[in-house]
Amino acid sequence: MTEEEIKKLLREADKTAGGIAPVRVNLSAIRRRAGRRNMIILVAPLASAAVLMVALSILALMFRTAEPTPEQEKIALLETQIKQLQARTDAALGLIQEVLEEERKQSRLDELQAQLASIPDPLEEVQNQVDKTAFVLVYQADRLYRELNQTDSAVENYNRVIALFPENRWAKVARQRLSEIENKKNLIKQI
């Protein structure tokens, strides 16, 4: 079946259908409907806005005046309690952290002090050496005087101690010894 045959068939059918009666377009009806439509276009947004406002006002009133149910009250109370516990927990945790920090610092301090303490005091060391030296000199002087009867050497040593370590306690001892020797000499002279 060719295109022309199809076209011919369709045209025959169209002819068979016959023409239609002249159509009367009702212009006044069109104008009326167009006017109504324009009115709707103008009014519809305003009406929608008004309805929305009323709905929102009703909702606002409902939420304001509505009494909370017992379950809602319980939930609200529990939420408050949870918040309070949370705050207390946070505070306690903060405190614990502070304490731990303090302990850490103290521990470090103790460590450093122990280290410091373990280091010998050099002044003390020197003092000890001085003391030792003064003692040895006094001891030698004592031996020279009491055991070896070398009074002059003993006096020399005593004087050396006094000269070198005047503030030392063994210098004091040395002075006492010198005083004893002087007294003994004076006694012998009197006799």
Partner 1 sequence: MAEIIDDEILIEQFRRGDESAFERIVERYSADVAALANRLLGWPGEVEDVTQEIFLAAFLGLKKFRSECSLKSWLFIITINKCRSYRYRWKLRHLQAIPIPINGIGMRLPPAEEGDSPMNAEDFQRVRLAVAALPARYREPVVLRYLQELGTDEISRILGISKNTLHVRLSRARKHLREKLTEIIE
Residue ranges binding partner 1 (CB under 8 A): 1, 3, 5-7, 9-20, 22-27, 29-31, 33-34, 37
Q: Are 160 and 138 in contact (CB under 8 A)?
A: no
Rounded least distance, CB 57 to partner 1, Å: 36
Min dist CB 44 to partner 1, Å, is: 15
We find the least distance from the C-beta atom of residue 43 to partner 1, in angstroms, to be 17
Closest to partner 1 by CB, 12 or 102: 12
How many angstroms separate the CA atoms of 120 and 126, rounded?
A: 11
Residue whose CB is less far from partner 1, 32 or 146: 32
Dmax (CA) for the chain in angstroms is 187
Question: What angle (nearest 5°) sits at the alpha carbon of residue 123, between those of residues 121 and 128?
Answer: 95
By beta-carbon proximity to partner 1, the closer residue of 17 and 114 is: 17
CB of 48 to partner 1, least distance (A): 21
Tell me the C-alpha to C-alpha distance, in Å, between residue 118 and each of 49, 107, 114, 125: 89, 16, 6, 13
Q: Which is nearer to partner 1, 19 or 120 (CB)?
A: 19
Length of the chain: 191
